[in-house]
Structure 1
Amino acid sequence: MNIKQNKVREALKNIPSVDEIINKFQITDTPLKFLKYSINIELSNIRTKILAGENINDIKKYTFNKINKIFNKIKNNSLQPVINGTGIILHTGLGRAPISKDILVDGILKNYPYSNLELNLETGKRGDRNIHVSSLFNSLCDCEDSTIVNNNASAVILMLNSLCNKKEVIISRGQLVEIGGSFRIPDVMNKSQSKMIEVGTTNKTHIKDYEDAITDNTSAIIYVHTSNYKVVGFTNEIDINKLHLLAKKYNLPLLIDLGSGSFADFKYLGLPFEKMISKYIKKGADIITFSGDKLLGGPQSGIIVGKKKYINIIKSNSLYRAFRCDKIRISIMETVLRTYYTSKKISDKNLSIQLFKRSRNKLKINANKIISGLSTEITKNYKINIVDSLVEAGSGSLPTEKIDSIAISIYSKIIKANKLYQFFLKNTNPVIGYIKNEIFYIDLKAVTNDQIDDLIKAMNKVLI
């Protein structure tokens, strides 16, 4: 055995055992199995490094330091609140639509310790969990019936599998989108067991293209809203009303995947225009699917609205049970829907809409409060400015529109922007900003009013 092999053997021998590590750190507030699992993963990584020839001085000290960092992480919950300084209100990585504390607490308390989720309190018999939100959706969308499932991907698959199983569905080539997270319409249609029939071209599709593709095996026409991009220039897209008339002529359902979709009159609220779901219903859509955690401002969910006869078919599909929502999301969604008094009057409890509505003037008040709360040392050592910014809605909503906002720019000659980003990211109360032209920014569009003091504390801690 050579010297190198001896060193490797000695290093492996000096790795502390799982029991030795547990006895040293004396952690009692974490499940023992979870501790052992975490320790074994790290010990395996250390063994791999040693066997690969990495020279580690004082293997015990090295191991204890590594384990200590892991224990510091697992002492805290993995899921934790953050300050969204990206300006993107519907940030997918940060949980999409923000929901107010009042609604979140109410949604949980309504289920403690039990609720009438599937019990009809009038008859005492088993009921439908969908009943708690269906009437609200029906009235807001001006539709006959509705249901709620796990997310919009589930909604699209369920809709197609229920109404178009092993049959043809006509779609424009310009609508074969990839939304994100590998959610591609062609793949989704394939998984739903429906047969996709492409018509038209990427930039132009005419009503004749749809009609020429209709056969005895055609089960539906689908319109997919290109929610995360827009084709401009030499283009043509068929009006929903014309598609409705064509579908009606051949006794076919017109299906629409909106992706996002709104109950609020965004134009009236002074925001970039987004066509309301009720408008698509009025134009003749038979079934519409959309996300509950985008412009609506609710929890993760997929909403299916439209004609009662089609909703009944969808709800009778065995996949419906696999895709259905849990009690917490249904409870939260009910309260969110009640914030929509009208399309032009929305309760302050709808946090998403309130964040979208905030003007630059209101955001400047918050920005000035933040700057005035910083220590003199920080304002001397950093170049900190309040600047106008333009942000996106996020999650594929309002794809071509920019929304007015205010950001705080932070520049240092000594500390690079990427270092500042990391420092704020690793703060006890993480702040997620962004870098542009080597300057670190914290945008205030998605920072709630009750987070301002926390942001001041974070900046005073990180920048000192």
Structure 2
Amino acid sequence: MSSILEKYNLKHVINASGRMTALGVSTPLPEVEETVCFGLNHYFEMKDLVNKSGEYIARLLDVENAVVVSSASAGIAQSVAAMIVRGNAYRLEHLHAHAHDVPTEIVIPKGHNVNYGAPVGTMINLGGGRIVEAGWSNECSAAQLGAAINANTAAILYIKSHHCVQKSMLTVEDAAAVAKAHNVPLIVDAAAEEDLRLYYQQGADLVIYSGAKAIEGPTSGLVLGKHEYVEWVKQQTAGIGRAMKVGKEGILGLTHAIELYLERQQESGTAMVEKMAPFINGLNALPGIQSRVVWDSAGRDIARAEVSFDADVFGLSAKDAVTKLQNGNPAVYCRAYKANEGSIEFDVRSVSQEQLQQVLAAMTELNQE
């Protein structure tokens, strides 16, 4: 399909940054592509498709209920709205028209109030909620979370992500215990997480996943959890969810992708280490570079190659190297969250051995400029 790149004057991209929205997230399996095409070329009673695909996913995952949405971000907004509207027809249609005499505060650990490409707070506001932060940016205990709850609390939102502060933070199980003690629902945003059952089993009332990240489905999202709460999320298709609707192809594609995801053997961190060993050795042969294996900061079984720069010896800082790699041909994208500290990371999950050699060649070329 190189003609597509030429037609629109697009660059070829090597995605060594992981399942990132900015690069189109992931590349679904051929079987998922076929299902998407089937969805595109057939008509359905959409309510029936939504309900029956959700029932099918719920059986696969052993949860009470599930619904496919357009993205994890849409899942946050619609889940928040669901906890405020709570099935009320008037509030559904007039959520943002004026204030409502119902709980609207969403309690979130302060260290989870992050920008993941868009602010978490924007999604909460879209759902009609108002953020109340608990604890501090580097600390939130169960007691601190509980202290932020009051009569106006609609739900607790817990963000399970590498974007969040990890140290001194309560766990999902801790948050579930607080939610139960205060009789408020717990929503867990687990967008990029790999275990589709864990957080529901740990006591979350609603759990949100990206359909295109770990699951490698089409652009979509998944909300699963307690039956009534998921039904309230579904009702948002007549409210704010109308602007976030998912197509028939997305519903069918994600449902099939979940099926395949549960069946296939996932690449282990150990396999990733083995895959990138020659790559790391090649990087360490470059002057001014130190490379090593590092593990995902959020606790997932993902190994990456960290590259630390001695700018004086290498000839470029980490930040400058990121820019030049992205401007190359092919464009190479890495994880640049710590570039200001002098290091970057390469995620090899979506990279072939041939592409790893291209990345090494690009790094070598930077060193020779």
TM-score by length of 1: 0.57
Of 308-317 and 160-169, more deviation after overlay is shown by 160-169
1:287 to 206, 209, 231: 206
Match of 2:200, SS state, is helix
- Measure, in 2, the Cα distance between the counterparts of 1:198 and 1:440: 31
Pick from 243, 246, 252 the counterpart of residue 322 of structure 1. 243
Deviation at 1:332, TM superposition (A): 3.2
Correspondence for 2:77: 157
- Specify whether residues 154 and 209 from structure 1 end up closer, same or farther in structure 2 by C-alpha distance, changes over 3 A only: closer
Match of 1:354 among 267, 271, 275: 267
Q: Is the 8 A contact 2:19 2:213 kept in 1?
A: yes
Q: Give SS of 2:116's match.
A: coil
Judge conservation of contact 2:140–2:170 (CA < 8 Å) in 1: yes
Out of 158, 182, 201, the residue aligned to residue 224 of structure 1 is 158
How far did 1:177 drift?
0.6
Alignment root-mean-square deviation, CA: 4.7
User: What secondary structure does 2:67 align onto?
Assistant: strand
For 2:88, the equivalent position in structure 1 comes to none
Structure 1 pair 404–152 and aligned structure 2 pair: CA distance change class (3 A): closer
Map of 2:224 onto structure 1: 305
Letter in 2 for 1:171: V
Q: Is the 8 A contact 1:175 1:223 kept in 2?
A: no
Q: Any stretches of 5+ residues in structure 2 without a counterpart?
A: 86-99
Q: Equivalents in 1 of 2:113, 2:344: separation in Å? A: 32
2:116 is matched by which residue type in structure 1?
Answer: G
Take 1:209 and 1:427, find their aligned partners in 2: how far apart are those partners?
Answer: 46
Q: Which of residues 106, 111, 114 in structure 1 aligns to 2:34?
A: 106
SS in 1 for 2:209: strand
Conserved in 1, the CA contact under 8 Å of 2:14 and 2:333? Answer: yes
Matched-pair contact (CA < 8 Å) for 2:166–2:298: no
State the Cα deviation string for residues 345-390 of structure 1 (Å, max 9, x = none): x24xxxxx4385633223336779x99xxxxxxxxxx958997533
**CA deviation after TM superposition for structure 1 residue 402, in Å:** 9.0
Task: Give 1:335 deviation, angstroms.
Answer: 3.1
* Pick aligned residue for 1:363 from 276, 282, 285: 276
Inter-partner Cα distance in structure 1 for 2:230 and 2:250:
20
Q: Would you say 1:179 and 2:128 are equivalent positions?
A: no
Offset, 1:176: 5.2
Question: Which among 262, 265, 269 is matched to residue 194 of structure 2?
Answer: 262
Note closer, same or farther for the CA distance 1:287–1:77 as it changes in structure 2 (3 Å cut): same
Query: In 2 relative to 1, CA 180–420 (structure 1 residues): closer, same or farther, beyond 3 Å?
Result: closer
Change (3 A) 1:390 1:299: farther
Whether the 8 Å CA contact 1:171–1:198 is kept in 2: the answer is yes
Which stretches of structure 1, 4 residues or more, deviate above 6 A after TM superposition? 384-387, 407-415, 418-423, 434-437, 439-442, 460-464
8 Å contact kept, 1:299–1:332: yes
Q: Secondary structure at the match of 2:190?
A: strand
Deviation of 1:303 after TM superposition, in Å, equals: 1.7
Residue type of the alignment partner of 2:82 = S
User: Does the CA contact (< 8 Å) of 2:220 and 2:246 recur in 1?
Assistant: yes
Q: Give, as a single letter, the amino acid of the residue that structure 1 aligns with 2:331.
A: P
How does 1:378-397 map onto structure 2 within 5 Å?
Answer: 383=286, 388-391=291-294
TM-score, length-normalised on structure 2?
A: 0.69
Distance 1:366 1:140, change over 3 A: farther
Answer whether contact 1:355 1:446 (CA < 8 A) is retained.
no
Structure scoring higher RCO (CA < 8 A, sep ≥ 6) equals 2
Q: Structure 1's 298 and 422: CA in aligned 2 closer, same or farther, altered over 3 A?
A: same
AA of the residue aligned to 2:194:
S
Contact 2:37 2:249 (8 Å CA) reproduced: no
**How far has the Cα of 1:173 moved from its partner?**
4.5
Match of residue 42 from structure 2:
115
Alignment of 1:425-444 (within 5 A): 425-432=326-333, 443=346
Quote the Cα distance in structure 2 between the aligned partners of 1:224 and 1:259: 11
Q: 1:77 to 1:330 in 2, by over 3 A?
A: farther
Residue 147 of structure 1, CA deviation: 1.0
Q: Which blocks of at least 5 consecutive residues in structure 1 are unaligned?
A: 1-72, 120-125, 264-276, 348-352, 372-381
Q: Do 1:175 and 1:226's aligned partners in 2 also have CA atoms closer than 8 Å?
A: no
The letter of the residue matching 2:80 is L
The one-letter code sitting in structure 1 at the alignment partner of 2:293 is L
Aligned residues of 2:145 and 2:178 also touching (Cα < 8 A): no
Q: 1:129 to 1:89 in 2, by over 3 A?
A: same
Q: Does residue 449 of structure 1 match 2:369? A: no
Give the corresponding residue for 1:51: none
The answer as to whether partners of 1:163 and 1:310 remain within 8 angstroms in 2 is: yes
Matched, 1:144 2:58: no
Identity %: 17
Q: CA deviation at 1:191?
A: 3.2
Partner in structure 2 of residue 55 of structure 1? none
Give the partner amino acid of 1:261: E
* Of 207, 210, 230, the match for 2:146: 210
> Compared with structure 1, are the counterparts of its residues 386 and 213 closer, same or farther at alpha carbon in structure 2 (3 Å cutoff)?
closer
What is the aligned partner in structure 2 of residue 83 from structure 1?
14
Distance 1:207 1:91 in 2: 34
